[in-house]
Structure 1
Amino acid sequence: MTRLLHVTGPDDPAILEAAAVLAMGGLVAFPTETVYGLGADGLNPEAVARIYAAKGRPATNPVILHVADAAAARELVSSWSAEAQGLAERFWPGPLTLVLPASNLVPSIVRAGGSTVALRCPAHPVALALIRATGRPLAAPSANRSQHLSPTLAQHVASSLGDAVDLILDAGPTAAGLESTILDLTGGRPRILRPGPIGPAELAVLVGPVDLWEGAVKAGEVQAAPGMAERHYAPRARLELVAPGAGLMEVSGLVAYVGLGSLPDLPETVRGILLPMDADAVAARLYALLHELDDAGFERIFMERPPENEAWLAVRDRLWRASAKEQP
């Protein structure tokens, strides 16, 4: 039976309980500023294997190691560049993951057999306290079944993973709502592998021009970082993207329409949901809304495509992958 403990802050005794579970090779779901993560001792291959089993995660998809600070990150890489140092000083703790050459300390299963490791220092006080109490880097992808919606509440974790997780630390809703930006520093020019709360323009101030990887890794191919598969972050309901203001003809079943800034005229049988024309607000609300619609039994969700500008980059990425056809 999974235990759920409410956490009031970084000094809560529940954090020491969670650290003890992790030290014994267990799984602990915990909040970050982005989404809830499913944590295990990142240097214990058997514990990390439990993450893959609990999520049904393909072995080709690496996991991010969460560290307490840049000093801890440097121990996990074979090369720590001036770029990495500058980015860590500016954005850590925060929603930025750096992909760097891995040291021999990093187990192969964490890297999905590749030569690089993804590292970040989360900004949530509970997450940082847990990492420090454990004294180890924590492998922690989102705490949900593979390809499905990421959790922004502890209840989402319990619904998705059930007894596969030993302990859930509940510190309320997460703030950012979307996963971290992943920046690859192993090539000739920094490259965003997954858009997130920190955009290309912010990164370019420190490291110069930044490339953006756009596409999808096919099933069975090794990913350089999480979030690169074609289908990801998907609700149980069928999600379809439509042109702004397109509206709907008559449709059958439980159907929702999510508009940005305004709603068109809709059939009486369709539930209209209005979100603001504000990228940060939509990012913070998106997964929670999709969870709510799933829980209410909606079968189809139509959502207006966001604008094409940089502010909406992460939201567009998540919606594109969430609306992709289900992989076998």
Structure 2
Amino acid sequence: RRLMKIFWPGPLTMILRKKASIPDIVTAGLPTVGIRVPSHPVALSLIRALQKPIAAPSANVFGYMSPTRVRHVAKSFADRVPLVLDGGDSAYGIESTIVSFRQQGVFIHRHGAISIEELSEHVRIVEDERAPGTCETPGELPFHYAPMKPLRLVNGPADVRQQASSYLAFRDPPGPVKSKYVRVLSPSGDLREAASNFFSFLIELDRDDVDIIYAEKLPETGIGRAVMERLKKASRRHCLQPVDNLNYP
């Protein structure tokens, strides 16, 4: 309840034991459900008009990058959905932080818009003591949030090997970049700005006329940890075999 009072409405999803009134199709048969109260006025207006909770998965094809603009959704689903509700660009640029509650404290399943540093000011964060391969949320899959093109994490422009490539820079590069396309997440190196631009820029760089995307590493502090979590998963998509032995509790 403490976290609800502090971070709701906002980008914090809590995994709780579900009630019998929640259909299994909402939770993929799991005994828990992820609950969040959004802060966006359009989402809140929709909930008030419906007068019921909304089962809302991400508006993207499974495994692909999360949309942060309405045109991303429209292009991804084309004519497969009859209506897209435009609430403007995403305020945070990345998904919510997902947590569950253990006897010893709070466990983070997915780093997101609320950082571990912010959570640690109010609760004790516990380490992962589950069996290897345990997956309770899609955000914990070993590969996720990935572009169609292979993505390679690099320290800087000097690591670029192919000109037929896209380059996602954290801050303004100190010199020329060999890649065909370059986007800078934050010219000044601001992690919040970088996160807000992250998926939008990465979607732009996932083009047909490149062979690979190079992504510059970010500092793994604050919201930078969440961005790096997604980049690491994206970089594994083309080097891992499909996972068929995940342990869903």
Amino acid at match of 1:312: G
Q: Where does residue 211 of structure 1 map in the other structure? A: 126
1:262 maps to a residue whose letter is D
Q: CA deviation at 1:295?
A: 4.8
CA contact under 8 A between 1:232 and 1:318: conserved in structure 2? yes
SS in 2 for 1:139: coil
% same residue: 39
Measured in 2, the distance between the counterparts of 1:302 and 1:229 equals 22
How much does 1:316 deviate? 0.7
Q: How many residues align?
A: 238
Q: Deviation per CA, 1:97-137, whole angstroms, max 9, x where unpaired? A: 01111111111122222211110000000001111111221
Q: Secondary structure at the match of 1:302?
A: strand
Moved over 4 A (4+): 212-218, 264-269
More strand by share: 1
Give the CA deviation at 1:306: 1.1
Aligned AA for 1:184?
S
Structure 2 counterparts to residues 65-76 of structure 1, below 5 A: none
Q: CA-atom RMSD, angstroms?
A: 2.4
Could you tell me which residue of structure 2 aligns to residue 27 of structure 1?
none
Q: Which 5+ residue runs of structure 1 have no aligned equivalent?
A: 1-84
The answer to whether the 8 Å contact 1:246/1:264 transfers is no
Please give the alpha-carbon distance, in whole angstroms, between the structure 2 residues aligned to 1:149 and 1:237: 12
Equivalent residues in 2 for 1:18-29, closer than 5 Å: none
TM-score by length of 2: 0.86
Cα pair 1:101 1:186 within 8 Å, conserved: no
Distance 1:173 1:151 in 2: 9
Unaligned runs of 5+ in 2: 243-249
Match for 1:314: what amino acid? A
SS of the equivalent of 2:181 reads strand
Q: 1:122 pairs with 11, 21, 38, which one?
A: 38
Q: Distance in 2 between matches of 1:243 and 1:269?
A: 15
Q: In the alignment, is the contact (CA less than 8 A) between 2:185 and 2:198 conserved in 1?
A: no
Amino acid at match of 2:168: V
Deviation at residue 245 of structure 1 after TM alignment: 4.9
Shift of 1:226: 3.2
CA offset digits 1:216-272 (Å, max 9, x no partner): 985xx7x322311111111122211012353324x253x122222232544655333
2:85 to 161, 169, 176: 169
- 8 Å Cα contact 1:179-1:196 kept in structure 2: yes
In the TM superposition, residue 294 of structure 1 has moved relative to its aligned partner by 2.4
One-letter amino acid of the counterpart of residue 196, structure 1: G
Work out which of the residue numbers 302, 321, 327 in structure 1 matches 2:214: 302
CA separation in 1, counterparts of 2:64 and 2:129? 20
Alignment of 1:210-249 (within 5 A): 210-211=125-126, 213=128, 223-249=135-161
